[in-house]
């Protein structure tokens, strides 16, 4: 199984400041034949299902504000929120869909400082 590890477990950032969440996979999720990283980021607010933010490591899903960006390749990935808004308070998960079982990181809880 591909183990996904996020850091930090929790994060407090001031409104308008940058938030950065890291995700590391124990093995590469870069598929060499198409040069795509099989890595997604999700946002989950309390009492709601997860929402897809980023897929292929860096492609924003439809309707996702451009303050959210994803980067990285191979085994190391980052989700960045360039200017934190109050509505961004949530738990964020990375997920690999390179191979089954499709594993998630443990989650990072983002709060306002």
At residue 88, φ and ψ (nearest 5 deg) are -85, -5
61: contact with other proteins by CB under 8 A: yes
Question: C-beta of 48: minimal distance to other proteins in Å?
Answer: 8
H or E segment and range at residue 92: strand 90-96
34 vs 86, beta carbon nearer other proteins: 34
Distances (CA, A) of 39 to 35, 58, 61, 111, 112: 12, 9, 13, 24, 26
70: contact with other proteins by CB under 8 A: no
16 vs 101, beta carbon nearer other proteins: 101
The stretch among 19-27, 66-74, 76-84, 90-98 that binds other proteins (CB under 8 A) is: 90-98
CB distance 57 to 71 below 8 Å: yes
Question: C-beta of 15: minimal distance to other proteins in Å?
Answer: 26
């Amino acid at each position: 199984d591909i183990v996904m590890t996020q850091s930090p477990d929790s994060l407090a950032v001031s409104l308008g400041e940058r938030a950065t969440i890291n995700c590391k996979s124990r093995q590469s999720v870069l598929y060499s034949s198409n040069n795509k990283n099989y890595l997604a980021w999700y946002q989950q607010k309390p009492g709601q299902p997860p929402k897809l933010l980023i897929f292929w490591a860096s492609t924003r899903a439809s309707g996702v504000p451009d303050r959210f960006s994803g980067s990285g390749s191979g085994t190391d990935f980052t989700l960045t929120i360039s200017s934190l808004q109050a509505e961004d308070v949530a738990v964020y998960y990375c997920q690999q869909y390179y191979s089954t079982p499709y594993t998630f990181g443990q989650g990072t809880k983002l709060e306002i400082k």
